[in-house]
Structure formats: C-alpha cells, structure tokens
Structure 1
Amino acid sequence: MSQFLSFPTDIQSLVRFIYNSLRFVTVASTTVAFLLSTLLYFKQNSLIYPSYLPEGARTKVPRPDEYEISDWEEVTLTTPDKEKLNSYLLYSSKKENPGVTVLFLHGNAGNIGHRLPIARIFSEQMGFNIFMLSYRGYGLSTGRPCEKGLLIDAQTALEYLLKTERTKDTKIVLYGQSLGGALSIQLVNKNQDKISGLILENTFRSMRILIPTAFPPARYLAKMCHQVWPSETTLPKIKECPVLFLSGGKDELVPPDHMRVLHEVCVSPVKIFKEFPNGTHNDTVGEEGYFDTIQAFIQQVKKGKF
C-alpha cells in the first residue's frame, strides 16, 4: 500500500503525519497561488484586451463602403512611440458645418469595423462627424494594447481632430463604451479645455474593482492588476464638461451600480443619467430611445446650452 494511504497508529507518528500533510498542502497552495499570480500579472493584458476576439478581428476589418457609406476616409495615425493606428473618419451627411465631431472609443473586443452600424447613425441620421479610433493591437493597427498605450492613442486622435481641416472648427464630444468610457474619462481629464461633452456607456469604476465580478477566479488577485483605469477617482477632477451616463440595467459584465457610483462622484454642473432597464452589456445600444438621448445631449452641447 502507498505511504500516502497508510494511517499511523502511534500518537507521535500521527502528529508527524499531520504536520507533513499540512506542510505539503501549504507548499502546494503557495505554489498554485504563485503560479496564478504570475499568470495574472504577465498575461492580464490578454484577458483585459481580447483584441483577437471574435475570430479574425485582427485581420478582417469591415470598411465603411461595405455599409454604403460614401463620405469617409481612412486615417492612419502615427503615435509618438511610432505605432500605426488604422482608423476611420466618417463625415456628416449634411452639407452645412455639422458643428460637432464625435470621437468614438470602443469596448475591449472586436474592431472598429464591427461598430460601423453605430457610427453610421451618428454621421447619417444625426448629422455629426465621427472618428473611429483603432487602438494599438486592435484591427489592423500595430502594437500591443495596454493602459499607457491606449492613453497615447486617444491623445494622438484628439490632436489630429483639433488640427485637421474638416474637424478643427467643430466641438469635440467623446463617446466611450465600456473600456472606451474609462479611456474617455482619462482623456477629458487631461484636456478639459478642448472637449465639449462626454458620453459614457456601461463603464466601470476601476479595473481592480471590476475583476472580482468579471473574472471571479482572480478576485483575490485583483490588487495585482497593473491595468488600473481609475475612473472613480479621476471623474471628480472633471469640473465643467457635461456628462451623459447611459446604463444597461441588465449589464452582465459591468454591474449597473458601477455607473451609478460614477454618476454620484461626478461633479460636473451638467450630468445626466439615463438607464435602459433591459439593456445588457453589449446591446444597450439597441434599446429604444438610446440614440434619441444621445442626439438630444449633443445638440445641447452644439448650441452651448450647457
């Protein structure tokens, strides 16, 4: 019979058996915890930024002309650290100056081509320009995504819009979904005199607070996450920019209370909270009244009513 199955008969042997067994369990548990911690620390970017999903997202990026969008251009931005961001700029379908350019910062999976039906509503039905930023490591853009890198990407896009001919005389409104909302908050905080409005959809308080619900097996290791995205502590630093909060009441990835907390800590003189009771994380955009709410908000920004 194996020594691991034999049971000691005298008390001293029993004590040694228990001690050795506990020491083995402790060492094994420590080893597993170390391996999990190491995996989380070094592989967390792949978990937080699944730019490879869905399959083909890094190689197949739908183009605007596939959706019969005619007035657009492909813009390849070069960041200060030499990454190439293959993005789209869709122009307003209206002949007059649209007055507003929306900077669209998307969620953490897929690519900009997957969001073209959304962008088309902004450019054709609402009549605004919309810039679709392709982050580093997403779609056909070079590099690997990380918090620091995405902040550089967003700043590069903003500076482009502020100087390029057809957008430089328009007001800039940020529209961020989920991760894009966290990115939008950081961008507004650093450019409060350049951005006229902020729209947040299903955004989280911080990555460390989100991990226990989004990645339950890693809940005890959340503090090791080096991709912080501190929306809750950054948002109160935004003093003047009007903010629209769009919250899906049935969001299964980001608990709806994250959006409520962000609304509560926001100190902007204009902050609007709109809940869509049946909206889940990815389909809140399809809820009735979603785009009407956005259009009303941007129109007020455009007219300087806030």
Structure 2
Amino acid sequence: MLSLPSLEAFAKGAFATAAGVATLGPAPGIALDIPPGLSYRSVSPNYTATQHNLSSKKDVPVPTDFGLQYKDLPLVTEDGVTLRCYLLMQRTEISNSHGPRIEYTDQETDEEFASKRPTILMFHGNGGNHGHRIPLARVFFVKMRCNVLMLSYRGYGHSEGSPSETGEAPLSNAQTALDYVTSHPYLRNSPVIIYGQSIGGAVAIDLASRNPSSKITALILENTFTNLPRLVPQALPLLGPFAFLCHQKWDSVAKIPLIPRSTPILMLSGVLDEVVPREHMQELWQIASRRQGSKLSDMSVISEIGNGKSKFVEFEAGHHNDTCVQQGYWTAVADFMTSLSR
C-alpha cells in the first residue's frame, strides 16, 4: 500500500537531488515559456535563440544521473524526424526501491509485470527538455511503479528538427510516442496516462482530442492555458498588440470537448502562476466538467469539485515552475491514479 506522506517526502528528495544535477524549470525569464517558432519571437527583448539552445539543447540529463535504469529510445516521426526519448520499464524488483511492493507470480517475467502497470507519457513544458523532468519521472517510476516514456519535442534536447505547432502536434511528436506504446508487445496492454505541464498540457489535450477511441486512460494537466493568443497579452503585456500575429493557437478550449466523457482528467493549478494566470485552468476545468455532464457555477469552490474521477486541485503557493513541489501535489496525483483502477 502506497504511503502518501512518504511519497511527498520522496518527491521533495528527488527535486533536491535534481538541483545538483539539472534545472527542472526553464531558464530565467517568462518569455522562455512561450513556444519557440512564434512569428513575433524576434521582437521579444527577453528571448534569444542562444537562451533557448542553452536551456533545451546543451544540458540533457540522463536517468542514470538519478539512479534509474532506462532505454535510450529514438523514435522517428511520420515525416522522418528523429525524437530522442527515455523509456523506463517496470521490473518485478527495483533495486533500492522505496516504492510499494507489487505482488507477482514466480513465473512472471519483467515484461509481463510491466504490461500490468500504468504507462505515463510525459510531455514537458517549453523550457528545457525531457532530461530536466527526470525527477518527475522518478516519482512515477519508483513510488507509483509506473512505466514512463518521456520525449524531447523536435528542436529540443537532442531531437532533430525545429519547434513549431506543426512539429509539436500529436501527428508528429506526441502521436509518435502514443503509437509506440500502443504497438509495443507489452506496453500496449497497460493503461496509458498522459501527463503534461504548461505547453505539454496543451500537447496532451491535443493528442487526446485526436485519438478519442484510442487506449488513453486518463490525463493529468498542470498549469496549462486556454489558447496561446489569449495568453500572450497576460504573460507578455508588451507583446499584447502583436497577439494577432501568433500563428500557433494551441486552442485547448476547442479541443477538450472532443475528449470522451469517459476519460478522467486531473487538473493541477498553481494559484500564483506568473506565466499562465489561474483563470486559464479554471476555464478549462469548467469546459471539462461540462464534458462530464456536471453543472459547475460557483468558481469559489472549484477546488473542491470533482465529477466522478475527474478533479481540479489548486495550490495556493504554487507558481508556474514550482507547483509540482507543493504540499499535496503528489498525494493528489496518487489518489487520482488509484481511482482509475476502481
């Protein structure tokens, strides 16, 4: 049985270790959380290609830095771009594991064991690359005994190509990862949960909306936005007049209704988010709740409302890049994961 207090303590330890190995969040500056490739990027005084390269290309930690065995997995998109990914597959026994004991038979192979555990598809935010999110993967892998597939979008980390909405769309990046899992001889039998932070949340929503009949069990979304043009005036006021030039839309408002009502969604929001105002997550929750068929009218109690297995949780001290270390964050994730098996 998973001990939730120990899970929170473990998560804090993982992120403390990360501080000495790699940065979890983007390089300083809000502008770095606006996706590269925007048509008005050149007019931003705070964003340079050098900053992006330093954040997302040069520094790519590997799971062994955090004591995790992994497979370095190259995935090739439909248009021939190679994405660099890390695959962490469960085994019957994990050395030095602080996670729960999962029962298995003597005849059961590691692969068969992995096929019965959930598989997390991780989509990172704009700053950095998949290597910077390994502490998050470690919580899923060690404490929740999940398989984890994490990738760097094209143009990020050591992945080929250049970032753009087309490049980050499910048919080229996220879709490639989902297709790999659903065609894997063992992972195809496991429940698939998509975890997305910031723009990764928009990628997750897009992927789920394009695959309504696929084997996506649930979504976990943290500090993501309604759509990009609406975010620009709030996150970068000086660029507000240029929002109409934003060719990348990432319109999650339009895509959430396309996700089946049977797909549970956990939304995690930092009240003090300085990049994506909390109103974005609140609006997305209202839309998701209507999709679930509930009536949500009082936004003041939004954090207490969960329709079925879907739930919205706010963290009063959470900023854009530290919500995942707030007290109760991983407890909420663990509770949600547990509810999926009921």
Q: Give TM-score scaled by structure 1 length.
A: 0.81
Which residue of the other structure, out of 44, 56, 81, is the alignment partner of 2:79? 81
**Does the 8 A contact of 2:154 with 2:168 survive in 1?**
yes
Match in the other structure for 2:271: 249
2-structure distance, mates of 1:263, 1:48:
31
Structure 2 unaligned blocks of 5 or more: 1-36, 94-112, 294-307
Percent of pairs with identical residues: 38
CA pair 51-66 structure 1, distance change in 2 beyond 3 A: farther
**Does the 8 A contact of 1:284 with 1:290 survive in 2?**
yes
Q: Which has the higher contact order (CA 8 A, sep 6+)?
A: 2
2-structure distance, mates of 1:228, 1:141:
23
Match in the other structure for 1:115: 133
Match in the other structure for 2:107: none
Matched, 1:164 2:184: yes
**Does the 8 A contact of 1:51 with 1:110 survive in 2?**
no
Matched, 1:142 2:160: yes
> Mapping of 1:26-175 within 5 angstroms?
41=39, 43=41, 52-53=51-52, 55=54, 57-70=56-69, 72-92=70-90, 94-95=92-93, 96-97=113-114, 98-151=116-169, 152-175=172-195
Q: How many pairs are equivalent?
A: 264
**Does the 8 A contact of 1:112 with 1:133 survive in 2?**
yes
Cα displacement (A) at 1:81: 0.9
Cα displacement (A) at 1:236: 1.7
Q: Give TM-score scaled by structure 2 length.
A: 0.73
| Counterpart AA for 2:66 | Y
Which residue of the other structure, out of 292, 301, 304, is the alignment partner of 1:268? 292
Cα displacement (A) at 1:57: 3.1
2-structure distance, mates of 1:199, 1:63:
23
Cα displacement (A) at 1:192: 1.8
TM-superposition CA deviations, 1:136-157 (whole Å, max 9, x none) = 0000000001111111100011
**Does the 8 A contact of 2:193 with 2:220 survive in 1?**
yes
2-structure distance, mates of 1:296, 1:278:
21
TM-superposition CA deviations, 1:152-192 (whole Å, max 9, x none) = 10001100011113311101110000000001001001112
Which residue of the other structure, out of 209, 218, 228, is the alignment partner of 2:230? 209
1-structure distance, mates of 2:197, 2:49:
15
Match in the other structure for 1:33: none
Matched, 1:291 2:330: yes
Structure 1 unaligned blocks of 5 or more: 1-38
